[in-house]
Structure 1
Amino acid sequence: MAKRETRKTVDPETLPYRPCVGIMLINREGLIFVGNRIQAIDAGPLTWQMPQGGIDAGEDPRTAAFRELREETGVHKSKAEIVGEIEEWLTYDLPPHLVGHALKGKYRGQKQRWFAMRFLGEDEDIDIAADAHQEFSEWAWVAIDELADLIVPFKRGIYERIVAGFTPLTKTKF
């Protein structure tokens, strides 16, 4: 008989939010970088997202944003500039079936600081396999109004807030 995996029940109220940054990378045409996650939190078809990741202990959110950009896209700091920021921390909670399992089981969800960055490079400067812990299997440029439909449902509220805050930046030509 196969061994059954037992899932522990964790009260999300007892867990903290993981501090994180997110990056909306905007190209010259006003399109947004998204990557298709290799190891998505849920197994559904919505596995696209913008670059994001944890803030290391003692790390400034802006520094973390450039580090995460480099790790997930291969884009060097010299090829991007911060042009906007959502000033408040945005939070999402994991769905109940993922609490205690996703995010190493240590967090109830994430609190994120979001930055808009203008991409100053060329598509050839993007290398999603640049880091040893590759996050994305493929990437694409998409229109900002498509973002909320690409993300897992439990992150949709954050994406709607980001879209509302950063849409004017996609209209600026450079």
Structure 2
Amino acid sequence: MDLDPATLPYRPCAGFMLVNSERRVFVGERINPKAHGYWQMPQGGIDPGEDPHTAALRELEEETGIGPELVDVVAPASEPLHYDLPLDLVGNVWKGKYRGQIQHWYLGRFKGDDAAINLEAHDPAEFRAYQWVEPEALPDLIIPFKRGVYTALVKQFLPLI
């Protein structure tokens, strides 16, 4: 079956750039073997009827164990950002229903400490490990097809960090 990605919609998604007191950003290393060695910020699909802000905080808690009571939301991104999947992944990821994701991002400050982080807070877990990194390092850590989104986020959020 030939799948034309241009005919597919983007999957609605929300993500969270969490910054600690040292102005470093949380990233987790994906468990998925195909993404081994790549790190990303917490993010995931928006459920039907869910607003992006709620989804971003839910994904943050599911993937890190960090609840909304430990976060001060600073700002949303000025507009949703999107990426396209590589052609070889379009028919395999999300059962071939989407060409990529349109992502609503939020910046927030972490009010807790690392003891609050629980990568197994949700089953299945998304991350095998985490680290706090300089914001400027983010684009080099993410899987290549998402680098444009991370570059745009760093440019937009860096003055607020």
Give the TM-score category using the shorter length.
Answer: over 0.9
- TM-score, normalised with respect to structure 1: 0.89
Partner residue of 1:19?
A: 12
Gaps of 5+ in 1: 1-7
> 2:39 corresponds to which residue?
48
| Structure with greater proportional helix content | 2
Query: Does the CA contact (< 8 Å) of 1:144 and 1:167 recur in 2?
Result: yes
CA distance in 2, matches of 1:128, 1:39: 14
For the aligned residue pairs, the C-alpha RMSD in angstroms reads 1.2
- Per the TM alignment, residue 9 of structure 1 is displaced from its structure 2 partner at its CA by 2.9
- In the alignment, which residue of structure 1 is the partner of 2:50? 59
TM-score w.r.t. length of structure 2: 0.96
Structure 1 position 73 matched with structure 2 position 74: no
Give the number of the structure whose alpha-carbon radius of gyration is greater: 1
Tell me what 2:28 maps to: 35
Q: Note if contact 1:20-1:110 (Cα within 8 Å) is conserved in structure 2.
A: yes
3-state SS of 2:158 partner: helix
Match of 1:168 in 2: 159
CA contact (8 A) 1:72 1:136 kept: yes
Map of 1:3 onto structure 2? none
Per-residue deviation, 1:87: 2.3
CA distance in 1, matches of 2:35, 2:70: 33
In structure 1, the partner of 2:80 is: 89
SS of 2:63's equivalent in the other structure is: helix
Gaps of at least 5 residues in structure 2 are: none
Question: Which string of whole-angstrom CA distances, capped at 9 and with x for unpartnered residues, describes residues 128-149 of structure 1?
Answer: 1111110000000000111000
Provide the aligned length of Structure 1 versus Structure 2: 161
Using the TM superposition, give the Cα deviation of residue 102 of structure 1 relative to its aligned residue in structure 2, in angstroms.
1.2
Contact persistence 1:92–1:110 (CA under 8 A): yes
Determine the C-alpha separation between the residues in 2 that align with 1:9 and 1:106: 13
Large movers: runs of 4+ above 4 Å: none
